[in-house]
Structure 1
Amino acid sequence: MTEKERRTGRDESEEERADRMWGELLQEVRVAQMGVQILFGFLLTVVFTPKYGTLSDTDQTIYIVTVMLGATATGALIGPVSLHRLVSGRRIKPQAVEWASRLTFVGLILLLATTGSSLLLILRVATHDGYVPWLVTGVVVWYLLCWFALPLWTRRRHTE
């Protein structure tokens, strides 16, 4: 057993590791995909409601940006499935896992932006109060802490 295997606690080949990491990544993507697809589906219906015509130009711009963010987040989070399907059997799973992981990370950032801008639009329409940007900033900071800061802190604290 090599020193690296002893540190990771796993005795697996590169292909076995890629298989395991692919399975873990798919589980993670399923959770994020569900959230982005529900949010994006909701966003697509807003333009067909009577309220949409009464929105200010600013709110309509926020809506359009939000829909575009949702569309790009959906693409990034579904991308790993397509990637796997198109490269399956080509003996490049480690590289596929790496690219799928990158797409997932980009998808999470886009999902964060979509959620933040959705919240901004909804609270602007619901309250018209000046504190809305502060509320949205607080939620986005919370997401950043939960989705990125805590995992990075944990990785740094518990790995060499």
Structure 2
Amino acid sequence: MTDRGARYDRNGEDEAERLDRHWNELLQELRLAQTGTQILFAFLLSIAFQAKFQEADSFTHDVYSGTLIASALAVGLFLAPVSFHRLVYRQRLRDRMLPIAGHMAAAGLVFLVIAMAGGVLLALDVVLSRSVALVVAALVLAWFTVFWYAIPAWVRANANGE
């Protein structure tokens, strides 16, 4: 059993090893996020070409447009660190690249949350009343916000106060 106040530490790790570890951790996170986001994006692209979708109202088209754009922005932000790395490869800029790539990934998660809520709203608007679909989509958005942002922020704030 570990002490609650004990922190995870890498004794003996030099700066280059720390940067390499952080880069590898970021890549692992991006692999998970990219796959689902790309599948969502591909699915959303196919919807616009369905005959029934052409008959949908302007609300549905607006939600679809916002969801598609959010999904595309998430894909772009999740892939951006790969492009960034390729362009600065062997330039010894990992110390400058990592914080920027981390911000790109974090921004990608924001757009992914928006795309997920929009996708839920689009699907539920077909099978439920619009008001119920809006409430459920708002609950999904809140759920993501709590688990992806509020809880980690709470843990971080409490860890810094130890």
1:106 corresponds in structure 2 to: 107
2:4 corresponds in structure 1 to: none
- The 3-state SS of whatever aligns with 1:12 is coil
Paired-residue identity, %: 36
Q: What whole-Å deviation, never above 9, does each CA across 1:127-158 have from its counterpart, x for those lacking one? A: 23422211111111111111111112222223
Is 2:5 aligned against 1:9? no
| TM-score relative to the length of structure 1 | 0.90
Segments of structure 1 that go 5 or more residues without pairing to the other structure are: 1-6
1:72-151 matches, cutoff 5 A: 72-151=73-152
| TM-score relative to the length of structure 2 | 0.89
Is 2:58 aligned against 1:57? yes
Q: What whole-Å deviation, never above 9, does each CA across 1:4-36 have from its counterpart, x for those lacking one? A: xxx762222222111000000000011110111
In structure 1, how many angstroms separate the alpha carbons of the residues matched to 2:21 and 2:130? 49
In structure 2, how many angstroms separate the alpha carbons of the residues matched to 1:129 and 1:86? 46
Q: What whole-Å deviation, never above 9, does each CA across 1:79-99 have from its counterpart, x for those lacking one? A: 111111111110110111111
Q: Which deviates more from structure 2 when the two are superposed, residues 100-109 or residues 124-133?
A: 124-133
1:25-44 matches, cutoff 5 A: 25-44=26-45
Letter in 2 for 1:17: R
1:18 corresponds in structure 2 to: 19
In structure 2, how many angstroms separate the alpha carbons of the residues matched to 1:15 and 1:113? 36
Q: Which deviates more from structure 2 when the two are superposed, residues 118-127 or residues 67-76?
A: 118-127
Letter in 2 for 1:72: L
In structure 2, how many angstroms separate the alpha carbons of the residues matched to 1:53 and 1:128? 20
Segments of structure 2 that go 5 or more residues without pairing to the other structure are: 1-6
2:70 corresponds in structure 1 to: 69
Shift of 1:120: 1.2
Letter in 2 for 1:149: A
Q: What whole-Å deviation, never above 9, does each CA across 1:47-72 have from its counterpart, x for those lacking one? A: 11121112101111111111111111
Q: Which deviates more from structure 2 when the two are superposed, residues 60-69 or residues 121-130?
A: 121-130
In structure 2, how many angstroms separate the alpha carbons of the residues matched to 1:29 and 1:153? 23
